Chains A and B, each alone.
Chain A
Amino acid sequence: QKEVEQNSGPLSVPEGAIASLNCTYSDRGSQSFFWYRQYSGKSPELIMFIYSNGDKEDGRFTAQLNKASQYVSLLIRDSQPSDSATYLCAVIGSSASKIIFGSGTRLSIRP
């Protein structure tokens, strides 16, 4: 089992709809969770970070964390074509000795 798992996609969502991206992790003691957006050929760009159970909202983005179920998700409301990218989930585990990235979910927003 991979330490951080994401569905590779592509996930196709119509413009204006809600895109939902999911990530599961294996280290139950993980404390810090990040979502990065990566356009093709570019470097990752931080979108959201979350440390506590529940929801965290920033503009059109909402991160949701459920430590009991070991998943973290990212919701993108009112999806725009510019949201088309690969979204990387990253987790810092309980030992705080490593940051682990998932391999990303490719999101495509269709007009």
Chain B
Amino acid sequence: DAMVIQNPRYQVTQFGKPVTLSCSQTLNHNVMYWYQQKSSQAPKLLFHYYDKDFNNEADTPDNFQSRRPNTSFCFLDIRSPGLGDAAMYLCATGRGGRVYSNQPQHFGDGTRLSIL
């Protein structure tokens, strides 16, 4: 089945220790998104790729970086995680142009990140 896969489902890291979350898709969608969601809050967009074109949200901390080596894969790197970065991280894909498409997004199952 075509889908969006995130690994790992649960990640525990130490304060300040870099961590990488991964996302892969078989939908062949040209846009990939990373969201951060904390308990009882709305998903917050961190950045998105339109093909290889990286688009950062203005309020995304510099601590968060992303890579998209090809259409199928996208990575979220947190360079020095702080306690406030503990959250669910959601990857989503969609079809669209350089601005947000009116097409819906398809989410992976998420990675729950804990910081010790």
Closest Cβ of chain B: how far from A9's Cβ, in Å?
Answer: 10
Residues on A with beta carbons closer than 8 Å to the beta carbon of B109: 42-43
Is the CB of B110 closer than 8 A to any CB of chain A? yes
Known: A42-B109, A103-B41. A98 touches B100 (CB 8 A): yes
Q: Which of A58-66, A67-75, A76-84, A89-97 contacts B (4 or more CB under 8 A)?
A: A89-97
The residue in chain B whose Cβ has the minimal distance to the Cβ of A31 is B102
Contact with A along B97-115 (1 / 0, CB 8 A): 0011110111111101000
Measured between alpha carbons, how far is A95 from B98 in the docked complex, in Å? 12
Is the CB of A99 closer than 8 A to any CB of chain B? yes
Known: A8-B40, A88-B42. A44 touches B102 (CB 8 A): no
Known: A101-B42, A103-B41. A44 touches B100 (CB 8 A): no
A98 near B107: Cβ-Cβ < 8 Å: no
The residue in chain B whose Cβ has the minimal distance to the Cβ of A47 is B104
A46 near B99: Cβ-Cβ < 8 Å: no
Residues on B with beta carbons closer than 8 Å to the beta carbon of A36: 107
- Chain A contacts to B: CB under 8 angstroms: 4, 8, 31-32, 34, 36, 41-46, 49, 51, 88, 92, 95-104
- CB-defined A-B contacts under 8 Å, sample of 16: A31-B102, A34-B105, A42-B109, A43-B88, A43-B90, A51-B102, A88-B42, A92-B102, A96-B102, A97-B100, A98-B45, A99-B100, A101-B43, A102-B42, A103-B40, A103-B42
